[in-house]
Amino acid sequence: MKLENKEFGFERFADEMAKLKKEQHFDYLVTIVGEDFGAEEGLGCIYIFENTQTHERCSVKQMAKQVGDDYVIPTVCKLWADADLLEREVYDFYGIKFLGHPDMRRLYLRNDFKGYPLRKDYDMDPAKNMYTTEDDIEVDTTTEWNLTADGKLVATAHKLFTDDEFVVNVGPQHPSTHGVLRLQTVLDGEKVKRIYPHLGYIHRGIEKMCESYTYPQTLALTDRMNYLSAMMHRHALVGVIEEAMGIELSERILYIRTIMDELQRIDNHLLYTSCCAQDLGALTGMLYGMRDREHVLNVMEETTGGRLIQNYYRIGGLQADIDPNFVANTKALCKYLRPMIQEYLDVFGDNVITHQRFEGIGAMNQEDCINYAVTGPAGRASGWRNDVRKYHPYAMYNKVDFEEIVLTNGDSMDRYYCHIKEMYQSLNIIEQLIDNIPEGDFYIKQKPIIKVPEGQWYFSVEGASGEFGAYLDSRGDKSAYRLKFRPMGLTLVGAMDKMLQGQKIADLVTTGAALDFVIPDIDR
């Protein structure tokens, strides 16, 4: 969608935001985009909201107020809980201090990093931030910033943990974090008291890189975020560029993209069910899923040439037409997979121990899920209808018949079942489309140098584990002025603290497995 930003001004901002949530029911904060609007305008943020009843979206633009050398904006983390990490991200990259935010630490970069790298005037000279082999500075206090009545910025220090607390680092190297995520966990015996996520161990600065790449070049980076949703990530990026440029796609492209997205979803969900089994110590259950994932990858590989990194969509269509065997292979795959899904339940999902380990673990009700922006199957397990494919349809999703899986308990067990049931729905979607792929172009020819007209767009797709969005601010150039991705996993990790307080350390592993986050997607 093309963004039409509301602007409230600094003084009214906090009140208007509260009104937006309480009166207009915009209770789902999709993302906060920090942006350097240039020398005249300065730094600011764009907030994108959704009304979870009508699924209407709106955006708010708020410029930061300059106080001395600092830029400040009042926090909204008391209104929308997912703003906690999102505001920290903006602080990390732009140095905007959010007034009243209780935990203004860097999120991705090292504590000893100098400067704010996504500001347009940031000096990229490597000498300014020398590569160091020293350990990062470990802080155990954090700062809250507030403005006094006479306009001065004051800091209040908060302690992260007391001296006698038992702190265990789960990660960054840990078998169950599925990547380099570090969860600093305060334990009371086996009980979890508090979790502080530390991100950025695989931060590659993809958003910063996108600002200097031409549009076709940026595509290569999306596959390297959540590699299990590679197709969907690419879909979001080409989607936002195509929408901005007003490209009309042929039916064939839309059909193939939808089928590929769903194949990718099945691939992800198979890996998800496998990892759930593995994290619970049921290695056999894991390998059943891996065995069948191989077949899915084979089908995709014949067309795309990739198994993990797909490189298939491009601006205006697809990289190549589908393989001559694709239709037959996909149909065979669908036929093969249906009975297999029951097998995962037989060997793992319906096991009594699995139920014991999953039921009531990491539970979160619908209200909190919306508040913490736990999208995707994890949120739908609590009853929140948030499927982007249904409510903001793209490609062929408004023409195919599929059910949005919504469950009620919101615990790990329902999250697991939600994934299992979604696999059947994906198979349904594929089967509806696979026989009717229309003839036509698989690529709409574009100019050699792609330029996007001026404006701001946001386009989101249903990734395998949540909403994945791409925000594009174009100034009519051949590269983006600001490209921001809404990762699926960031808000999931942000919600883990709330989900796990008072539960066992073993439940941390269970909840993490059932949430389904992939670290390169969180870190970007």
Partner 1 sequence: MFDFSIVTRWFDELLRGTLGLGDFGAILIECVIVGLAIIIGYAVLAIILIFMERKVCAYFQCRIGPVRVGWWGTLQVFADVLKMLIKEIFVVDKADKLLYYLAPFLVITASIGTFSFLPWNKGAAVLDFNVGIFLVTAISSIGVLGVFIAGWASNNKYSVLSAMRAAVQMISYELSLGICLISAVILTNTMQISGIVEAQTGPWQWLIFQGHIPATLGFLVFCIAGNAEANRGPFDLAEAESELTAGYHTEYSGMGFGFYYLAEYLNLFVISGLATTIFLGGWAPINIGIEGFDALMNYIPGIVWFLGKTFVVVFLLMWIRWTFPRLRVDQILKLEWKYLMPLSLVILVLMTVCVAFGWTFTIA
Residues that bind partner 1 (CB under 8 A): 166, 168, 174-176, 190, 277-285, 287-288, 291, 347-348, 351, 353-354, 356-357, 504-509
Least Cβ distance, residue 357 to partner 1 (angstroms)? 6
CA distance linking residue 466 with residue 186, whole number of Å: 28
Q: Which helix (H) or strand (E) holds 169?
A: strand 166-170
| DSSP single-letter state for residue 160 | S
Quick one: 180 or 277, whose CB is closer to partner 1? 277
Q: What is the DSSP string of 353-417?
A: HHHHHHTTTT---HHHHHHTT--HHHHHTTT----HHHHS--TTTTTS--PPP--SS-SHHHHHH
Where does 23-146 have alpha helices with state H? 83-94
Q: Hey, is 490 helix, strand or coil?
A: helix
Least Cβ distance, residue 281 to partner 1 (angstroms)? 3
How far does the chain reach from its first CA to its final CA, in angstroms?
23
CA distance linking residue 29 with residue 21, whole number of Å: 9
Least Cβ distance, residue 286 to partner 1 (angstroms)? 8
Quick one: 48 or 496, whose CB is closer to partner 1? 496
Least Cβ distance, residue 371 to partner 1 (angstroms)? 28
Quick one: 73 or 276, whose CB is closer to partner 1? 276
Q: Hey, is 266 helix, strand or coil?
A: helix
Residue 480 Cα to chain centre, angstroms = 20
Is 111 exposed, middle or buried, given 0-12, 13-18 or 19+ CB atoms closer than 10 A? exposed
Quick one: 88 or 357, whose CB is closer to partner 1? 357
CA distance linking residue 160 with residue 44, whole number of Å: 28
Quick one: 185 or 330, whose CB is closer to partner 1? 185
Least Cβ distance, residue 3 to partner 1 (angstroms)? 42
Q: Which helix (H) or strand (E) holds 509?
A: helix 505-515
Quick one: 231 or 509, whose CB is closer to partner 1? 509
Quick one: 139 or 353, whose CB is closer to partner 1? 353
Query: Sign of the CA dihedral 281, 499, 46, 118?
Result: negative
Least Cβ distance, residue 499 to partner 1 (angstroms)? 16
Count other C-beta atoms under 10 Å from residue 135's C-beta. 8
Backbone phi, then psi, for 494, in 5-degree steps?
-65, -25
| DSSP single-letter state for residue 79 | T
Give the contacts of 396 (CB within 8 A, at least 6 positions apart). Answer: 254, 255, 257, 258, 433
Least Cβ distance, residue 135 to partner 1 (angstroms)? 15
The 3-class secondary structure across 431-452, one letter per residue, is HHHHCCCCCCCCECCCCCCCCC
Quick one: 385 or 504, whose CB is closer to partner 1? 504
Quick one: 330 or 354, whose CB is closer to partner 1? 354
Least Cβ distance, residue 140 to partner 1 (angstroms)? 16
CA distance linking residue 386 with residue 379, whole number of Å: 7
How big is the CA angle at 294 (ends 291 and 297), to the nearest 5 degrees? 160
Quick one: 356 or 408, whose CB is closer to partner 1? 356
The 3-class secondary structure across 303-349, one letter per residue, is HHCCCCCCCCEECCEECCCCCCCHHHHHHHHHHHHHHHHHHHHHHHH
Quick one: 444 or 506, whose CB is closer to partner 1? 506
Quick one: 177 or 310, whose CB is closer to partner 1? 177
Residues in the chain: 524
Least Cβ distance, residue 166 to partner 1 (angstroms)? 8
Least Cβ distance, residue 423 to partner 1 (angstroms)? 19
* Cβ pair 304, 319 in contact under 8 A: yes
Quick one: 151 or 175, whose CB is closer to partner 1? 175
Least Cβ distance, residue 506 to partner 1 (angstroms)? 5
Least Cβ distance, residue 279 to partner 1 (angstroms)? 4
Strand bridging mode 5-7 / 57-63:
parallel
Least Cβ distance, residue 72 to partner 1 (angstroms)? 39
